[in-house]
Amino acid sequence: MVTSRIWFTSAQKAELWERWKRGQSISSISRALDRRNKTGVQRIVSLHGGIAPSARRRAALTLGLAEREEISRGIAAGLAIRAIARSLGRSPSTICREISRNGGAQAYRATRADKHAWERALRPKQCRLACSGRLRWRVAQKLALQWSPEQIAGWLRREYPGDPSMRISHEVIYRSLFIQSRGGAQEGTNSAPAYQTTDAARQRPTEPDGARTNTRYDLHPRAPRRG
């Protein structure tokens, strides 16, 4: 028999994360939320790497619903893109892209365009560790020396004060380890690749340009397991 998925409300998610932060197990949280099994709670916790997500906010420079309504009215009034852009204080290219990605002038609807923009912002983004081999190598090197994520994040800030590409928060490192330990790489989540933390890792060259740095590392992380 096929059963439909029961979704979590915003209030239930807030309670879930509050209980998780208090140290309750996934099983206990599932019972408190009247879930028949722990799969749903486990899925949410694993999806976010065991760290409660921050409240969603629009970026300051993105178009809002009010601006999209102005665009829709401008189109209905037959205004040129430059005129609409000037009235909103936006560049014409921004208005042109907004209209084009939402079906063109004939099909543009403000509410629907705003909804689609909000949904697009939810698409998974690749973890910084997965994007930067240099940063990934440095993090793996320090993990091989048994440094904590907090120590690594602080060291990177001091070692590379003028290089934002070599910055990463300890939360992201923890999340990458957590997702990796839960098999996140197989689920297509934004986890970092695995690393190898053997004694040989401590003897690698000081710069991540040598051929030996292409070897895969396996962190064997110890993620929190509260089943």
> Tell me, what amino acid is at 36?
R
Q: Mapping DSSP to helix (H, G, I), strand (E, B) and coil, where does residue 167 land?
A: coil
Whether 167 and 198 share a structural domain: yes
Asked if 169 contacts 140 with a C-beta cutoff of 8 angstroms, the reply is: no
Whether 86 and 136 share a structural domain: no
Q: Which domain holds residue 97?
A: 65-120
In the predicted model, what is the mean pLDDT of residues 153-168? 91
pLDDT per residue as tens digits for the range 117-156:
888 876 666 667 777 888 988 998 898 888 999 999 999 9
Name the DSSP class of 165: G
Write down the pLDDT at residue 219. Answer: 40
pLDDT band at 61 (very low <50, low <70, confident <90, very high): confident
What is the spatial distance between Cα 136 and Cα 195, in angstroms, rounded to a whole number?
Answer: 9
What is the spatial distance between Cα 121 and Cα 59, in angstroms, rounded to a whole number?
Answer: 10
Whether 143 and 173 share a structural domain: yes
What is the spatial distance between Cα 107 and Cα 214, in angstroms, rounded to a whole number?
Answer: 49
Does residue 222 sit within a domain?
no
CB count, 10 Å around CB of 107?
Answer: 10
Does residue 96 sit within a domain?
yes
Copy the structure tokens of residue 179: 């997702």
Whether 137 and 207 share a structural domain: yes
pTM: 0.42
pLDDT band at 182 (very low <50, low <70, confident <90, very high): low
List, in sequence order, every residue forming a beta bridge with 217; answer none if it has no partner: 195
Rounded mean pLDDT of the chain?
76
Q: Which residues contact 54 (CB under 8 A, 6 or more apart)?
A: none
Write down the pLDDT at residue 200. Answer: 37
What is the spatial distance between Cα 161 and Cα 33, in angstroms, rounded to a whole number?
Answer: 45
Helix 133-144 with 149-159: angle, nearest 10 deg = 130
Name the DSSP class of 1: -
What is the spatial distance between Cα 111 and Cα 117, in angstroms, rounded to a whole number?
Answer: 10
Does residue 113 sit within a domain?
yes
Residue 71 pLDDT > 60 = yes
Q: What is the DSSP string of 12-46?
A: HHHHHHHHHHTT--HHHHHHHTT-SSSHHHHHHHH
Residue 24 pLDDT > 50 = yes
> Tell me, what amino acid is at 16?
L
List, in sequence order, every residue forming a beta bridge with 195; answer none if it has no partner: 217
Write down the pLDDT at residue 180. Answer: 59
Copy the structure tokens of residue 122: 């939810």
Residue 206 pLDDT > 50 = no
In the predicted model, what is the mean pLDDT of residues 177-199? 47
Does residue 69 sit within a domain?
yes
Whether 143 and 105 share a structural domain: no
Count of domains in the chain?
3
* Residue, of 182 and 15, whose pLDDT is higher: 15
Whether 160 and 202 share a structural domain: yes
Write down the pLDDT at residue 98. Answer: 95
pLDDT band at 178 (very low <50, low <70, confident <90, very high): low
Provide the percentage of residues in the chain whose pLDDT is more than 70: 71
Q: What is the DSSP string of 172-224?
A: HHHHHHHHHHTTHHHHT-SPPPPB--SGGGGGS-SSTTSGGGGS-B-------
Residue 188 pLDDT > 60 = no
